[in-house]
Amino acid sequence: MQSKWYPKKGRVIFHVDMNSFYASVEAAFDPTLKGKPLAIAGNPEERRGIIVTSSYEARKYGVKTTMPLGEARRLCPELIVMGPTFERYRTASKEMFKILADVTPLVQPVSIDEGYMDITNCADQGSPPEIAERIQQRIHDELDLPCSIGIAPNKFLAKMASDMKKPMGITVLRKRDLERKLWPLPIEEMYGVGSKTAEKLRKIGIETIGDLAEHPVLELKGVLGINGERLKNRANGIDDRPVDPDAVHEFKSIGTSTTLPQDTTDDTEVQTVIRRLSNKVEVRMKNKKVLARNVQLTIRYHDRKTVTRSRQLQEFIHSSEDLFQVAMQLFDDHWNQQPVRLLGVTASDLAEKSEVSQQLDLFNFEQYASKEKLYKTIDDLTEKYGKNPFRDLSNPTNPQVNTSFQKDFLDDFKK
C-alpha cells in the first residue's frame, strides 16, 4: 500500500503554508480576537496604512492584502486593526519549523510562514496524507495555528496544491491530476506568474494554465525569454529543484526599508533615516559574515513613484558608515526635491568575508589598517559585553526583524 505513495524513482514533497499567519498568531496570543474580522497593517496609527494580512472573517467582507486601510474599513466597519509584532511572528515561525524538522531534516524555509519538506524517505512514518495530518494537527494543538499542506512529486505542484484548500486544507496533486485540477485555473493563479507576466501571456491568447502548458515554446521564449520555457515546464508538472535545507543561506542582497511617519523634504530627517537603515544592514551583514561591493538606495515619493539607484564599488565594504556615505551620495545625486515617503538601503554583490582577498595597495593600506584596529576593538567589546556598546549611542532602537522578507533568521529552528 505504501509503495503507491513512495515511488522508487520519484519524490514526495510537501509545501506547508501557514494560513493568514500574522492574524492567526495574534488570535492565538489573544483568544478574544478569534472569529473576529482582524487585519494587520503597517503603522496603522501613524498614517494611512496598507493591509499586510487579514483573518478569514475579514476576507469575507473583501478585505485583501495590500488594500489601503481606509478602503478595508469601508468594506468592514467592524474591522479590528493592529500593527505587526514581528518578534511574536518570528517565535511562532521558529516553533513551526521545529515541528517540520521532527519529521525530516530535509526542510527548506522560504519565508517566515511557509516551507518545503522532502519526505521521500519517510515511508516508515505512514502515508503522505497521514504524515500531513499529524503535522497539521501538531501545529494546531501546540501553537494554536492553522496551516494548509500541499502534497506532490515536486515543489511547484506542492506549492500549487497548498493554495487549493484554505484554511486547514490538505491537497494531493499528482501529474495525472493536472488536466482536471490545475489546467482550468486562470493564468494569474499560477505560482510564478505576476500581473505583468499574465498580461503579456493574455496578449498571445493564454488565458489558463492549460493554455500555457500547450503553447509553442518558441513563442513563449520570444515573449518572456528563458522564463517562458520554465513556466511552460511548470505548467506541465516539470520541476527538478530539490528541497535544499541550506538554500536559506544563499542570498544575493541584504536590505531594509521604512515608510516615514510623514512625507518629508527635510535633509536632516533623511540623513537620520538613512543612517538608521545603514546600521541595520551592517548588523545583518555582520551576522552573515559578508562584505558588499554594491549599495542600492530606494526612494519612494509622496505620489508612490519609486526609483532605485545603485553604485558599484571598487572595494568591498561592511561598515554602517561606508554604507551611509554611499547611500547619502546616491540620495544627493538623484533626489528630485519632491516629498519622500519611503527610503531603503540594500547591500548587494555579497561575498563571504573569509573568502575575500582584500588587494591593498600603497594608497589604501594605512587607512584600511587603521580601521581594522577600530573594528577589532569594537568586536572585542561586543564579545565581552554581549552587544556593541557604541551602536546604542547612535541608534537607541536595537535593530530587530521587522519584515517577513528578511530571511536571516529562518534557520533559527535548528539552534
Q: What is the pLDDT of residues 34-60, one digit of tens each?
A: 999 999 987 665 445 788 899 999 999
Q: Is 114 a catalytic residue?
A: yes
pLDDT attached to residue 47? 45
Higher pLDDT, 216 or 44: 216
**Which residues does 405 contact at the CB level (< 8 Å), separation at least 6?**
111
Q: Which of 46, 57, 95, 114 is catalytic?
A: 114
Q: Angle formed by the axes of helices 267-288 and 320-334, to 10°?
A: 140
Match 526542510 to its residue by C-alpha cell. 107
Distance CA 101, CA 78 (A): 39
pLDDT attached to residue 394? 37
Paired strand residues for 348: 253, 294
Distance CA 182, CA 155 (A): 14
| HEC string for 195-219 | HHHHHHHHHCCCCEHHHHHHCCHHH
Contact between 307 and 335 under an 8 Å Cβ cutoff? The reply is no
User: Of 371, 396, 395, 391, which Cα lies nearest the Cα of 381?
Assistant: 391
**Element at 128 (helix H, strand E):** helix 128-143
pLDDT attached to residue 355? 56
Tally the residues of the chain: 415
255-273 burial: b if 16+ Cβ within 10 Å, else e: bbbbbbeebbeeeeebeeb
Mean of all residue pLDDT scores within the chain: 85
**Element at 295 (helix H, strand E):** strand 290-301
Higher pLDDT, 401 or 267: 267
Is residue 380 marked as binding?
Answer: no
Contact between 358 and 368 under an 8 Å Cβ cutoff? The reply is yes
Kindly list the structural domains of the chain, giving each domain's residue range(s) and its CATH number in brackets, ordered by start. 1-173 (3.30.70.270), 179-235 (1.10.150.20), 251-414 (3.30.1490.100)
Q: What is the pLDDT of residues 259-317, one digit of tens each?
A: 998 999 999 999 999 999 999 999 988 888 888 889 999 999 988 889 999 998 878 88
Q: What is the pLDDT of residues 348-389, one digit of tens each?
A: 888 777 655 343 333 343 444 445 455 455 555 544 444 444
Is residue 113 marked as binding?
Answer: yes
pLDDT attached to residue 60? 96
Match 519584515 to its residue by C-alpha cell. 403
Distance CA 181, CA 216 (A): 22
**Percent of the residues in the chain that have a pLDDT greater than 70, as a whole number:** 83
CA angle, residues 231, 407, 62, in degrees to nearest 5:
65
Using 50, 70 and 90 to split pLDDT, how confident is the model at 333? very high
User: Of 176, 149, 145, 147, which Cα lies nearest the Cα of 160?
Assistant: 149
Judged on CB neighbours under 10 Å (0-12, 13-18, 19+), 344 is buried
User: Of 352, 390, 356, 354, which Cα lies nearest the Cα of 374?
Assistant: 390
pLDDT attached to residue 332? 94
